[in-house]
Structure 1
Amino acid sequence: MKDFALELGCLGFTMRLKRLSDALMHDGRKMYKELGVDIEPNWYVVFRLLKREGEMSVMEIAEKIKLAHPSVITLTNKMMKAGYLSSAQCTDDNRRRLLTLTQKAHDQLPRLEQIWNAGERGVIKALEGTDFMEMFALIEARFGEKGFKDRTIDELNKPTL
């Protein structure tokens, strides 16, 4: 059976990105379960960021990883529930809460970093011989300059010959 997303060409682009993301997340969950690690695949970025920065607000995390604030709240709330993050009110601004890694997170980091480093090596091997990361950076930059909505509206407003 033919892959309809491939048949769509450029219009299938977001569907294919979503499909790849879903496959990687599903495989990541299976890997962590098999290894006996109780984290979600998308938590690694918060672990690594807070390890480097020490403490950050949800808004700061969202800005650093370029995710929507509500998405970061959902992610960090799950991490807190699992015991990997703690939250404290900012002394300068009571509206802000600062997140830090817990002792449980610090205890797990050596094993997690071992897994993430192996994962990185695996991805590098999978992408070997391609310019995928450069191309992906270019796509992100171009859509960062001018989004899909504006590009589509510009095309709609072009005079037809």
Structure 2
Amino acid sequence: MPDFYSRTGKMALGSRLRRLSDRITDEAAAIYQLYGNDFQPRWFPVFYVLSEQDGRTITEIASEIGHSHVSVSQIVKDLARNGYLEERAVSGDRRKNHVFLSELGRATAVRLQEQFRDVNDALEAAMAETSYNLWGAIAEWEHLLERKPLLRRVQELKKARESAEVQVVDYQPEYAAAFRALNEEWISKYFRMEAADYAALDHPDEKILQPGGHIFVALYGGEAVGVCALLKHTDGTWELAKMAVSPKAQGKNIGWLLGRRVIEKARELGATALFLESNTMLKPAVNLYYKLGFRKITGRPSPYERSNIQMELEL
């Protein structure tokens, strides 16, 4: 094994598997030549399923072997060009061509049987020399990745690592510009700034903090990338409002962290419920609120034209 794989470890799993696959494919090509068969290894899955059941469509073959329709279509063309297959419509289903082994294909299928037996026996003997069942391991990994793809596993770990690096701090005057800019950015992208927005964003001390509310700021790498406010209304109700996360910092769980901090603070202050307003076109935001425990309500008057959904969390 090259030292490269010792240095990279599992990071190069795909490259190492590809190297092994390329080696086996090259040896398979040599084995076909050994038995006098002018045949390419990549044709095998398509050819084999047709030798089991002739007259299948390309879609059926692709589903059977787990290849894309485009890949199977190209292999069928190559096999037909070399005289192993032929395509034709069948009675009762003339909208699709079905694929059949030609006379040469059927003769080749018979001739390949001896080669298949020898190859199978050679592989069984090779596996008997190993400490691990490669065939079983491949099946296990296929099931593992089908249940949760590697990409999603890495995304989850990346999100968890970056979330751990986010700090949620109390508002300070130095964050006033970020509080306004982050909110104005998303509001202007989807809607328009309204009077209630200008009042809260231009005068956070007067409109949010002095009446007993709080503002929290999410810092990532020392930069303010998310904000959220806890508003106390004159009727004694509490509102989660003005949540905004910078597009460049999305995917780091910042909305969840801010939402949880606001909920914790509301509980500390003795609130029995927390409400919010949003718009259903903001699907990621609404889904976040549901995950935080909020449920849809109706009936509250709203100062915002854009609001078409109200939600509440009982504390």
Percent identity of paired positions between Structure 1 and Structure 2:
24
- Is 1:15 equivalent to 2:19 in the alignment? no
Q: Deviations over 1:12-71 (max 9, x none)?
A: 111111111111111122222233211111222222211222211111111111111111
Structure 1 runs, 4 residues or longer, greater than 3 Å off:
90-95
Distance 1:114 1:133 in 2: 22
Distance 2:80 2:151 in 1: 36
Distance 1:51 1:102 in 2: 11
Q: Deviations over 1:64-111 (max 9, x none)?
A: 111111111121111111111110125444442210111111112222
- Is 1:37 equivalent to 2:41 in the alignment? no
Secondary structure of 1:63's aligned partner: helix
Distance 2:158 2:90 in 1: 48
Shift of the alpha carbon at 1:119?
Answer: 0.8
Letter of the 2:156 partner, please give it.
D
Of residues 153, 156, 159 in structure 1, which corresponds to 2:155? 153
Decide whether aligned partners of structure 1 residues 5 and 92 sit closer, same or farther in structure 2, where only a CA change above 3 A counts: farther
Which structure shows the bigger proportion of residues in strand conformation? 2
Residue pair 1:43, 1:75 contacting (<8 A) in 2 also: yes
Q: Normalised by the size of structure 2, how large is the TM-score?
A: 0.48
Q: Which residue does the alignment assign to 1:3?
A: 3
Distance 2:56 2:6 in 1: 41
Q: Which residue does the alignment assign to 1:63?
A: 63
The structure whose Rg is larger is 2
Which structure shows the bigger proportion of residues in helix conformation? 1
Number of residue pairs matched by the alignment? 161
Q: Which residue does the alignment assign to 1:121?
A: 121
Shift of the alpha carbon at 1:123?
Answer: 1.1
Distance 2:159 2:94 in 1: 48
Distance 1:149 1:13 in 2: 14
Residue pair 1:84, 1:105 contacting (<8 A) in 2 also: yes
Distance 2:159 2:83 in 1: 52
Q: Which residue does the alignment assign to 1:77?
A: 77
Decide whether aligned partners of structure 1 residues 13 and 104 sit closer, same or farther in structure 2, where only a CA change above 3 A counts: same
Residue pair 1:6, 1:12 contacting (<8 A) in 2 also: no
Residue pair 1:86, 1:99 contacting (<8 A) in 2 also: yes
Secondary structure of 2:56's aligned partner: strand
Residue pair 2:51, 2:101 contacting (<8 A) in 1 also: yes
Q: Which residue does the alignment assign to 2:192?
A: none
Specify every segment of 5 or more residues in structure 1 that has no aligned partner in the other structure, as ranges: none
- What is the root-mean-square deviation of aligned Cα atoms in Å? 1.9
Residue pair 1:58, 1:98 contacting (<8 A) in 2 also: yes
Residue pair 2:89, 2:97 contacting (<8 A) in 1 also: yes
Letter of the 2:134 partner, please give it.
F
Secondary structure of 2:83's aligned partner: coil
Structure 2 matches for 1:82-161, cutoff 5 A? Answer: 82-128=82-128, 129=130, 130-158=132-160, 159-160=163-164
Letter of the 2:142 partner, please give it.
E
Letter of the 2:68 partner, please give it.
A
Q: Normalised by the size of structure 1, how large is the TM-score?
A: 0.89
